[in-house]
Structure 1
Amino acid sequence: MLLEDESNGVVKSADRVLDVIELLARWGREMSHTEIADTLEIPKSSLTKLLKNLTARGFVEFVPLTKGYRLGEALIRLSEQSTHSRSLINCAQPVLSEITQQTLESCALNQLKGDQVEVVATVTSPQRLVSHLRLGDLAPLYAVSGGKVILAFLPDQMRSEYMKTVKMQAITPATMTTKKVLLAQIETIRQSGVAYSMEEYTPGIVGVGVPVLSSSGFPLGSLNVAIPSVRYSEKVGARAAAILRSSAERIRRRYISANGEGARGI
């Protein structure tokens, strides 16, 4: 049960968890149970329970040789994921500008966030009629091109779990609302490498998206352009897809070069 400090609304046990993690990060070596308890002035019985939970989740690791504790692999992986995410954005930003220069349409880099897709970098079209893709915007994977293409290239288990739990709702009259139709579209996307959203999330806007894949085929993110339907045609869509494909490959190569071998196995 969490203990809450009534004076400021702080959850005391959660605060202690963060104190332990910050202390181990600063210390730079293993610390014994007693050292942690004394430094943080935590009762040893309470610390035992916190460390048990942290080690079970992999955020802290017990080292039998020294009988000490250090930061665990789970925390290190989270840190690496954050670093890789920032690296991908840095690699993509100049390429996004070139996509908009070539297509004259707004474009974005998107990444998976839970069961949604998030805009993490964007460039807005210079034209008067535009679709604004705002940083931090979230959308259902099934409704937008950048989300569909990530969903299509997720590992089978992740995609199956998503399909079991997703509740498809009509956002516009054109939104897909049946899993059978979505699965058929996913198969087409996997074969072509391109996803389309035909006014399925925003009326009057057609999305074209492609994946940014790691060397192992995992979707690091996706690129998409948002085209007002009055400017869209099959020829326009095909040209946008070709530009996005070559751009995604450039970003992928930059990303792997910047992150070394570690990025290859993602």
Structure 2
Amino acid sequence: MSDQATAAGTVKSADRVLLVFELLSSWDRDMSHTEIAEALQIPKSSLTQLLKNLVSRKWLAYEPQGKTYALGPAFTRLAKQAGLARDLVTVSGPVLTELTAKTLESSALNLLRGDIVEVACTVMGPQRLVSHLKLGDAAPLYATSGAKAILAHLTKDIQDDYIRRISFESRTPSTIKTAGALRKNLAKIVAQGFAYSYEEWTPGIIGVAKPILDEAMRPVGAVNLAIPAVRFNPDAAKLFEAALTSAVDAIRRQIALA
């Protein structure tokens, strides 16, 4: 088969998937294999495997008693995910304000953007010596506390793929430099529930973060504090962890993740 024919076939298959989605979303009842084939004028033999694939990936739900199909739970997740980032930013503003008031340190909401995390909302601490977290600041997943909090709770397959692809940049002498060290650190984060970055991205700044997990324990973001190293000590760490836990719990409740 020529490259042109392959490309055409791929586009045709994708088009059929979209047609099935559009058809089922416009009806107010489930549809049978025959009804879908007739409505879309797709041969039943071609439609059978397509429907099986979509059911296996949970894009469609199959009801065996009536032998009918409907949009599946993957659609619900996708729709929820589409609005989740916006909701997180909206909800996090007041929560971060309270978090910074409790701790007197700069705080931020971190969201996953491919192989990096990005600061999507931030409140600067009131003290003279502070860490300046800016909207849009980005960092690799192995370096900052918010980034590592998210990476630690991604699936093993995603973690493995990420670690295979990256090249470690030694931003500071403390930056993690090997896959083995990163894996060990991620395991510690999962066990403790908090991620730390000890001057690994910015000299003189210690970060501590807690992930925001959804109902399936997948990370949808992380909240972090950025503390000048001169103000960091074990007693302060306990305060920071308690304040972060309260902040994350408040965010999860307000966007119905709890």
Q: Which runs of 4+ in 1 moved over 6 A?
A: 126-129, 214-218
- Indicate the residue corresponding to 2:40 in structure 1: 40
The reply to whether residue 123 of structure 1 matches residue 122 of structure 2 is: yes
Structure 1 residue 49: deviation in Å?
3.5
Aligned pair partner of 1:252 in 235, 244, 249:
249
For 1:53-132, list aligned pairs within 5 A. Answer: 53-82=53-82, 87-101=87-101, 106-111=106-111, 116=115, 118-119=117-118, 121-125=120-124, 130-132=132-134
For 1:234-245, list aligned pairs within 5 A. Answer: 234-235=231-232, 239=236, 242-243=239-240, 245=242
- 1:31-63 alpha-carbon deviations (Å, 9 max, x no partner): 123332333343444333422321232211332
What RMSD over aligned residues (CA atoms) do the two structures have, in Å? Answer: 4.1
Alpha-carbon spacing, 1:219–1:191, altered in 2? closer, same or farther (3 Å): same
Indicate conservation of the 8 Å contact 1:205/1:226, yes or no: yes
Give unmatched runs, 5+ long, in structure 2: none
Alpha-carbon spacing, 1:250–1:102, altered in 2? closer, same or farther (3 Å): closer
Indicate conservation of the 8 Å contact 1:209/1:241, yes or no: no
The reply to whether residue 4 of structure 1 matches residue 1 of structure 2 is: no
Give unmatched runs, 5+ long, in structure 1: none
Letter in 2 for 1:162: Q
Q: SS state of the match for residue 121, structure 1?
A: strand
- 1:181-238 alpha-carbon deviations (Å, 9 max, x no partner): 33554465456544332443356654332334578976553211345xxx54243896
TM-score, scaled relative to structure 2 = 0.70
For 1:69-218, list aligned pairs within 5 A. Answer: 69-82=69-82, 87-101=87-101, 106-111=106-111, 116=115, 118-119=117-118, 121-125=120-124, 130-134=132-136, 137=138, 139-152=139-152, 154=153, 158-159=155-156, 162=159, 166-167=163-164, 169-174=168-173, 175-186=175-186, 189=189, 193-202=193-202, 206-212=206-212
Distance 2:62 2:187 in 1: 45
Aligned-pair identity in percent equals 40
Residues paired across the two proteins, number: 248
